[in-house]
Amino acid sequence: MTDEDLHAHLLELGLEAARRAGALLKDGRPADLGVAATKSSPIDVVTEMDIAAEKLITGYLSEFRPTDGFLGEEGASSPGTSGVRWVIDPIDGTVNYLYGRPDWSVSIAAEIDGQVVVGVVAAPMRGETYHAVVGQGAWMGERRLACRPAPPFAESLVATGFGYLTDRRTQQAEVARLLIPRIRDIRRCGSAAIDLCDVAGGRLDAYYERGLNPWDLAAGDLIAREAGALTGGRPGEPPSGELALAATPGLFDPLQHLLERFGAWHDGDPGA
């Protein structure tokens, strides 16, 4: 199988797994949905549907590729032997899902030898599915995506997110306070994968956040890059838990500079 054939095969599986999980989550959400567990803090929650969706995704993919590895938010972890690893967030935006808000997504990425080559983000309540294959552009359904031309920095629309640890979110709020006077406005969706896809599709000029995990980033970062956005972390570094940033070219460097200056990459006091 050529690389192109393998990528196409992985994309087909990722799209179908995301479609099935999205249907389960959208149509099977119980009216009395509650918290099944917590993660980093009492307000960082897991629902029974997170667990069910991850099980559905890993089970489906394993039928076709039993030797692949997995890294999932809700515990799926195996190295595999094929060189392919699936990075899965069954519900990116679990608190939104718990409250019946529409901004949640299913995020599935495929890595080959550590490089993300396929990304799929399904946003069922929007009726939208995004995908990208490395070197082949980013798409929403049949429409090819392209990030927006860079506006003047003061006219940029920037999204961010807030973590669930008190010290971290306090710092994140302070960074946002410092940033807001310098831009058009700020948005907070609650799903990193959706925010990254919105940069790809021109609905945002930029997005940044501290504290993301590989499953939050993997698919959306590829989609943003394939749509022409620049992505990274702190200056000279890739996106990471310290800082993840995606922006249309022309905004990336000045925004990264400000985020570094404001201390967006740590949980202490921001700079002046």
Per residue of the chain (272 residues), give pLDDT as tens. 899 999 999 999 999 999 999 999 999 888 777 677 666 666 455 778 899 999 999 999 999 999 999 999 888 889 999 999 999 999 999 999 989 999 999 999 999 999 999 999 999 999 999 999 999 999 999 999 999 999 999 999 999 999 988 899 999 999 999 999 999 999 999 999 999 999 999 999 999 999 999 999 999 999 999 999 999 999 999 999 999 999 999 999 999 999 999 999 999 765 44
Per-domain residue ranges of the chain:
3-144, 153-262
Say if residues 119 and 219 touch (Cβ distance below 8 Å): yes
Say if residues 164 and 213 touch (Cβ distance below 8 Å): no
pLDDT tens for each residue of 215-250: 999 999 999 999 999 999 999 999 999 999 999 999
At 182, give phi and psi (nearest 5°).
-100, -5
List 107's β-bridge partners, or say none: 89, 121
Q: In a 10 Å sphere around its CB, with 0-12 CB exposed, 13-18 middle and 19+ buried, how is residue 137 labelled?
A: middle
CATH code of the domain made up of 3-144: 3.30.540.10
pTM for the whole thing?
0.94
Task: Could you please state the CATH topology (level 3) that the domain comprising 153-262 is classified under.
Answer: D-Maltodextrin-Binding Protein; domain 2 (3.40.190)
**What is the spatial distance between Cα 202 and Cα 269, in angstroms, rounded to a whole number?**
32
